[in-house]
A and B are shown apart, each in its own frame.
Chain A
Amino acid sequence: MMARHKRMVMVAAIVVGVSLAAFLGTKAYQGNVMFFFDPSQIAAGEAPPDKRFRLGGMVEKGSVHKTAGTLDIDFVVTDFCHTVPVSYSGILPDLFREGQGVVAHGRLQNGKFVADEILAKHDEKYMPPEVAKSMKDKPTAAGNAEACAKLGKA
């Protein structure tokens, strides 16, 4: 009887522990998972106004403005249909370049995306998978309104 009693207590303890872990895990997951949006989705108002998310696209050519002597930088992320202005203060990853894919973490403030992290990747040819996917059904160069219209987002 004693052994059985003890085993019951142990099983109950494990069940409680697992439920607690699952509950906290779900909480942590919901709080820390970050969704991905491209400029067209932001233009359509799909991005959350008060939550951090991931913005991905191409760094528009000629859009990078650095304030000399400071860490402040402004640039524009485009998916060739819509654009989002981005501001960032910090050190840029080695592979950040105009005309290349980029993923930034941050939040929207007054129509501007304030980034707190710009993702660094190891590989020159590497395209962030989410950006690759987002760009797949987009035109390949700016000013192609027809292709954007076809997407129904223009």
Chain B
Amino acid sequence: MIPELGHFALILALILSALQTVFGLVGPTRDDPRWLGVVRPAVAGQFVLVSTSIGALVYAFVNFDFSIMYVAANSNSALPTFYRVTALWGAHEGSLLLWAWILSAWTLAVAIFSRHLPQSIASRVMGVLGFVSFGFLLFTLMTSNPFERLPLEQIPADGRDLNPVLQDPALAIHPPLLYMGYVGFAVAFAFACAAMLEGKLDQVWARWTRPWTTFAWGFLSIGIALGSWWAYYELGWGGYWFWDPVENASFMPWLVGTALIHSLAATEKRGLFKSWTLLLAILAFSLSLLGTFLVRSGVLTSVHSFAADPTRGMFILGFLVIVVGGALSLYAWRAPLLKSPSGFDWTARESFLLYNNILLVSAAIMVFIGTMAPLIADAIGAAPVSVGAPFFDLMFPLFMLPLCVLVSIGIHSAWKRGKISASKRRILVGLAVATGLGLLFVFAAYGGPSKWLTPIGTVVGIWIIVSSLFDPVDRLRRKLTLPRAIVGMTIAHMGLGVGLIAISTVESYTVERDVALAPGETVALGRYAYRFDGITEIEGPNYAGVRAEVTVLRDGRPIEVLHPEKRRYWVQNSVQTEAGIASRWNMDLFAALGDDLGAGRWSFRAQLRPLLDYIWLAAGMMALGGGLAATDRRYRSPAPAATQETSAPLTPEAA
């Protein structure tokens, strides 16, 4: 009964989303307050209905309703309650429902916080969001209904269990955060479409759009970092980024989204790059859609499942074509009307934001080519190829290192006619300090560089941090106000610096060995050594396995004990490696347990990864910075400011 209620609620939500689309998009052209008045209640109603639907599915999971096909396929009576709830997004159908629910929540937030906006714009934004929601709900209901019942004779006594790699706390929250980011870009997309429909795009528009975009970007940053963290300790073999198609699918919208938040800054402050900003907003959301679908439809993991389920594949293609094609047609029609004032110095802040955008978008194109090449080769019948990590490892720094250097310089730039030469002293002082500290770090802590990347990455990373601090410190010294936007920007940029230092260090100084050890034997990793002490049998709620005890020694003295495990989950009869990790302030000590090799020996992978955790700290700093910047006071002031930018900063250090 409850699942049918959930299904019914989903159908009602679909109808409401259609109403929201029609009234939201047509209402403004008719300028009828009764039409416009329908939109917000439809949004609220849709949120309640999709929430009901998701609640019904959670209820089915928690109460072991194995007559539901989706529950039977992704749950089990031995599965702990926490994972029975998170199993909701453990596979395709439930993930789509989660997507639709998060979209309805974002739309509700837009409905609440858009009251000070002109009604026509707010309606159009919600109308576009309604259309996206309509597409997703229709897709869910027609091809991927999570409430589908099994015929009576096929109802299993017990479920097939959640995929063991998904039974993990980080993965439980990774998809919702990632979707918060993906779906958040839908809001930026909707604002872009609304501006094009309105035929008007001014600096006030950019001010409305900015906080939404920055929030979405922050969520996406954390979502990607969590996915990377999970892959590091759960997939079992160390490493934090594999340039796997699924990872790239989330990274492309992040790169374009990063370009978008910077381009929006120029649009808000100076009324520049208007059509470019629109294009990026369309692109960021298109890539989010593409990412969701590529991952969820299985096109990427298996090229052939596209054809295996033609309805799903065709629907996906159709929806992508309508959304992306529609938005781009609208863009082609409206963008030429937008005029951006030209005229700024090539070392002014506008130019640096332009360089930022060129490099970020180029990097996104590179990732896109590398990710799609195998798919395209397959589609045109060429020899099967794979583009592995070496391609990306070689190409990515080509875009990112120049970008990071330009960040360190561009931070000091001023708008309009401001020449960067005015900040020459700051740039040189920053570079000198960074070079000194960076080389000291590389030589004192690690005894010299091991790759060309090490000293460059470290110096540039420190340079970004030092450069970011000039302006806030200067403001504090002169007892000026320090707006949240500047604090946020500073923290996010410092996060970039921290991330660059951490990645350079991890890539250069990771020590890794695969070894066969018998109890009592030791493997040396530089100053450190791993001693295998023994193995014990363990039993969990839905698995059995073995746990090794590994003592880590430094200079012969024990400092940590690691417990890598090998679990066999009963229901799916699959083996899962749980790494043993000790995170210290300066490095991660990592051990993964392999197989019983016979003769009393077990295989181990032992790793030392210096500064690894700082990569995730960096993502956290970016997200925190984004959150602070997005909640700056000027976005909260209800009175929309004049179109003309009156508070153009005059000093080079002002943002």
Contact = CB atoms under 8 A, between A and B. Distances in A.
A90 B592 CA distance: 13
Interface string B470-499: 000000000000000000000000000000
Contacts of A36: 383-386
A32 B387 contact: yes
Contacts of B236: 94
B597 A28 contact: no
B574 A68 contact: no
A91 B237 contact: yes
Interface in A1-33: 3, 6, 10, 14, 17-18, 21, 24-25, 28-29, 31-33
Contact of B385 (A35, A89, A122, A123): A35
A152 interface: no
B343 to A, nearest CB: 7
Interface in B370-408: 370, 373, 378, 383-388, 390-391, 394-395, 398-399
Nearest to B566: A94
Contacts of A122: 163, 165, 235
A129 B575 contact: no
Interface size class of B (residues with CB under 8 A): 35 or more
B384 A133 contact: yes
Contacts of B595: 91-92
Contact of A69 (B165, B343, B601): B601
A102 to B, nearest CB: 15
B76 to A, nearest CB: 15
Nearest to A69: B599
A94 B577 contact: yes
Contact of B369 (A25, A66, A130): A25
* Centre residue among A94, A122, A123 by max chain B CB count within 10 A: A94
A154 interface: no
Nearest to A24: B398
Nearest to B354: A10
B598 A129 contact: no
Interface in A57-108: 66, 68-71, 89-92, 94-95
A95 B575 contact: yes
A50 interface: no
Interface string B337-369: 000000100100000000000100010001001
Interface of B: 163, 165, 235-237, 301-304, 343, 346, 358, 362, 366, 369-370, 373, 378, 383-388, 390-391, 394-395, 398-399, 514-516, 518, 572-577, 592, 594-595, 597-601, 603-605
26 contacts: A3-B343, A18-B362, A21-B362, A21-B399, A24-B395, A24-B398, A28-B395, A35-B383, A36-B385, A36-B386, A70-B516, A71-B514, A71-B516, A71-B597, A89-B514, A90-B514, A91-B595, A91-B603, A91-B605, A92-B595, A94-B575, A94-B577, A122-B163, A122-B165, A129-B303, A133-B304
